[in-house]
């Protein structure tokens, strides 16, 4: 057990001191191997980092980031709002549903939930505020719905999970679609119920009854994003593109949209590239550290020992998932989703697989818990984005998001009881 | 010291720009491969291999540039509300540890490249690229991070702002896109 103790203590000390996460993980790995193993640690580190960061299956990661960064500079979100808004005015909750629908559609063109929150919220939050919608319900529904950015493919977290566990990214992407749409439906139902109970939350809109033809004409605004979705997701499921190739097509599609909207300039391309490099370097450092640490832990036999210790508790499969859910919610209050996932996977993945859960299912579970982390203070990145957009206090946004957080918890338990919801589509897709 | 800081900042910025160019190349080569496959049923034989090298540059060459902009993730829950003196001490310890670990990594990659160069290992792809080339590039790329930590330490000692590249008041958009997922 002593190796476990050293790794845990060193990890807690370095992370608690606020050493950069990727380097902290790397340092813990080096320390553990140096103390407990007689091996050429530095040689192993060099070889491992080089191999990890040059593995071609990771190429989808920076390319999907680049696609989102290009789209951010286009008017895609305005178009989404114009196309979707007329269809929601008759629903209880009105334009609040644009948060959910907009995030759902944009999620299919974006791999990240923070970027989804920023892109959609930039348009919806001033509109909703101007029309007198309840502030808490509008910020909460935005923070909640942004989660779909990661659940609905493409998804950066699922790419990382796939690379770490050798599960097919294509299957993972397929697995996210049905739960993503169901969760969006749950969010919309909640908004509708709240609005029916208290009419003041979503004031009736003047000129709500736009005619059908007018609404259809406005829906033409949705064509660019739909085209992009078909290009990216369609090409993967038609079997004509790997995730990396789909990402290349996504970048091409994003450039085409920018060109059609006449905003495509060298300046835009340079800004999008530099911004994508910033995100890629940030994820790259964490990946390098986490991948090295996970191999170091395997050398130290830590996953096996932890599995034996937890196995002795005799939790049963559902009990294990409950414990993991609580563990990840707690961890998510302090860590970002990617770090949390890569740090814990070497131990939790074999445990969950041994309990009989499908690796594809566990990927979706992890996305959900990572996203719960993104909406729980004090460290919740979606909350930070919305704070920047609205200027509200973090604690108030946190409370406003709480109902959506609880819906996610209930939804995760539902998926644990009925894993078929997740596994049906990847099974059908082969 | 001003000259040293300038040189380091310049090296890191160059790394960031190189990473951006590598990302553009990754896209262009990927697009060329797809076009060739559908138009001429042809394929670029070197694509898998070079994608890997470019990817390494995309991830690594920007490391130092991103540190200078405050873009790498740290967990600041325990240290966010320390009194100024303690905060500076913690920052000094963190920066030293960062310098130590990133320096160890740079040395590891450098030794890997040197070892490969001495043995003369080539890649197992048809191109038979001498592997010390991409490995050496990765070592130089990782050096941006080590040097950025050195610059951070110097700035800390001189009492200068630690992250001069950080946007002063980040517009929401900027900040959101730099957030992790």
Neighbours of B43 (CB within 10 A): 10
Nearest CA in chain B to A21: B74
What's the rounded Cα separation, in Å, for the pair A321 and A335?
20
Range with top average pLDDT, A20-34, A77-91, B37-51, B162-176? A20-34
> For B39-75, what is each residue's pLDDT tens digit?
887 777 778 788 999 999 999 999 999 999 988 988 8
Nearest CA in chain A to B64: A281
Cβ partners under 8 Å of residue A116, min gap 6: A103, A106, A107, A110, A146, A148, A149
> For A302-332, what is each residue's pLDDT tens digit?
888 888 888 788 888 899 999 999 999 998 8
So what's the ipTM on this one? 0.91
| Per-chain mean pLDDT for chain A | 90
- ∠ CA B27-B31-B32, rounded to 5°: 120
Cβ partners under 8 Å of residue A403, min gap 6: A140, A144, A190
pLDDT mean for each 10 residues of chain B (181 residues)? 92 97 96 87 80 95 94 82 89 96 97 92 79 94 97 93 70 42 34
What's the rounded Cα separation, in Å, for the pair A345 and A367?
12
Whether pLDDT at A77 is above 60 = yes
Is B111 part of the contact surface with chain A (CB cutoff 8 Å)? yes
pLDDT of B175: 43
Question: Do A54 and B22 form a contact (C-beta atoms < 8 A)?
Answer: no
- Is the link from the previous residue into A154 a cis peptide, with omega within 30 of 0? yes
What's the rounded Cα separation, in Å, for the pair A21 and A286?
6
Verify whether the Cβ–Cβ distance A45 to B90 is below 8 Å: no
Point out the residue among B52, B66, B104 whose CB comes nearest to the CB of A282: B66
A204: left (phi over 0), alpha (psi -120 to 50) or beta: beta
**Shortest alpha-carbon distance between residue B3 and chain A (Å):** 25
Q: Mutation target for B interface from A20, A239, A340: give the one with most B CBs within 10 A.
A: A20
A94: left (phi over 0), alpha (psi -120 to 50) or beta: left
Residue A287 with chain B: CB contacts under 8 Å? 59
Question: Do B19 and B58 form a contact (C-beta atoms < 8 A)?
Answer: yes
> For B68-92, what is each residue's pLDDT tens digit?
998 898 887 778 788 988 999 999 9
> For A227-252, what is each residue's pLDDT tens digit?
998 999 888 888 788 899 999 999 99
- ∠ CA B80-B84-B89, rounded to 5°: 85
In this structure, of A92-96, A184-188, B106-110, the range with the lowest mean pLDDT score is A92-96
What's the rounded Cα separation, in Å, for the pair A412 and B76?
28
pLDDT of B173: 40
pLDDT of B181: 34
| Per-chain mean pLDDT for chain B | 87
Extract the tokens encoding A234. 């369609």
Question: Do B142 and B106 form a contact (C-beta atoms < 8 A)?
Answer: yes
Q: What CA dihedral angle connects A211, A214, A217 and A218, to 10 degrees?
A: -100
pLDDT of A102: 93
Percent of chain A topping pLDDT 70? 98
pLDDT of B169: 45
Q: State whether residue B122 is helix, strand or coil.
A: strand
Neighbours of A313 (CB within 10 A): 10
What's the rounded Cα separation, in Å, for the pair A60 and A247?
6
> For A349-375, what is each residue's pLDDT tens digit?
988 988 889 999 999 999 999 999 889
> For A404-430, what is each residue's pLDDT tens digit?
999 999 999 999 999 999 998 887 755
């Amino acid at each position: 057990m002593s190796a476990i103790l050293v790794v845990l203590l060193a990890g807690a000390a370095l992370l608690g001191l606020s050493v950069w996460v990727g380097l902290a993980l790397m340092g813990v790995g080096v320390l553990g191997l140096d103390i407990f193993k007689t091996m050429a640690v530095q040689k192993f580190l060099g070889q491992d980092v080089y191999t990890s960061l040059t593995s071609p299956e990771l190429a989808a990661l920076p390319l999907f980031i680049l696609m989102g960064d290009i789209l951010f500079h286009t008017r895609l979100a305005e178009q989404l709002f114009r196309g979707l808004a007329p269809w929601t005015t008759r629903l209880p909750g009105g334009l609040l549903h644009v948060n959910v629908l907009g995030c759902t559609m944009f999620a299919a063109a974006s791999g990240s939930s923070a970027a989804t929150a920023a892109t959609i919220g930039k348009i919806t939050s001033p509109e909703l505020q101007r029309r007198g919608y309840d502030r808490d319900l509008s910020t909460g529904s935005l923070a909640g719905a942004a989660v779909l950015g990661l659940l609905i493919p493409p998804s950066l977290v699922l790419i990382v999970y796939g690379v770490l566990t050798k599960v097919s990214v294509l299957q993972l992407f397929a697995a996210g679609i049905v739960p993503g749409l169901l969760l969006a439906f749950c969010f919309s139902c909640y908004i509708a119920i709240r609005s029916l109970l208290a009419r003041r939350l979503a004031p009736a809109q003047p000129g709500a009854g736009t005619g059908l033809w007018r609404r259809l004409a406005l829906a033409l605004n949705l064509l660019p994003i739909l085209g992009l979705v078909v290009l990216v997701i369609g090409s993967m499921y038609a079997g004509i593109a790997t995730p990396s190739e789909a990402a290349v097509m996504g970048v091409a599609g994003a450039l085409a949209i920018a060109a059609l909207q006449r905003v495509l300039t060298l300046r835009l391309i340079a800004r999008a590239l530099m911004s994508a490099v910033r995100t890629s370097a940030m994820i790259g450092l964490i990946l390098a550290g986490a991948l090295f640490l996970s191999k170091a832990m395997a050398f130290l036999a830590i996953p096996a020992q932890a599995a034996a210790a937890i196995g002795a508790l005799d939790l049963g499969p559902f009990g294990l998932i409950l414990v993991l859910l609580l563990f990840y919610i707690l961890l998510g209050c302090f860590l970002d989703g990617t770090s949390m996932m890569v740090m814990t996977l070497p131990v939790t993945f074999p445990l969950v697989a041994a309990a009989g859960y499908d690796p594809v299912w566990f990927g979706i579970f992890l996305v959900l818990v990572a996203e719960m982390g993104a909406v729980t203070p004090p460290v919740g990145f979606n909350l930070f984005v919305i704070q920047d957009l609205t200027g509200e206090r973090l604690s108030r946004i946190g409370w406003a998001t709480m109902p959506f957080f609880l819906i996610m918890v209930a939804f995760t338990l539902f998926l644990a009881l009925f894993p078929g919801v997740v596994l049906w589509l990847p099974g059908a897709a082969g | 010291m001003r000259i040293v800081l300038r040189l380091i900042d310049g090296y890191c910025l160059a790394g960031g720009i190189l990473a951006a160019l590598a990302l553009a190349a990754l896209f262009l080569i990927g697009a060329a491969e797809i076009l060739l496959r559908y138009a001429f049923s042809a394929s670029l034989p070197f694509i898998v291999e070079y994608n890997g090298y470019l990817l390494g540059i995309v991830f690594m060459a920007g490391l130092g540039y991103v540190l200078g902009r405050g873009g790498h993730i740290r967990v600041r829950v325990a240290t966010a509300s320390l009194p100024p003196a303690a905060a500076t001490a913690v920052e000094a310890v963190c920066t030293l540890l960062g310098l130590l670990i990133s320096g160890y990594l740079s040395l590891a990659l450098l030794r890997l490249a040197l070892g490969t160069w001495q043995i003369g290992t080539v890649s197992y792809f048809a191109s038979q690229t001498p592997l010390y080339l991409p490995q050496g590039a990765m070592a130089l790329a990782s050096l941006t991070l080590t040097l950025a930590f050195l610059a951070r330490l110097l700035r800390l000692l001189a009492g200068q702002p630690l992250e001069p590249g950080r946007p002063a008041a980040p517009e929401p958009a900027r900040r959101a896109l730099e957030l992790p997922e």
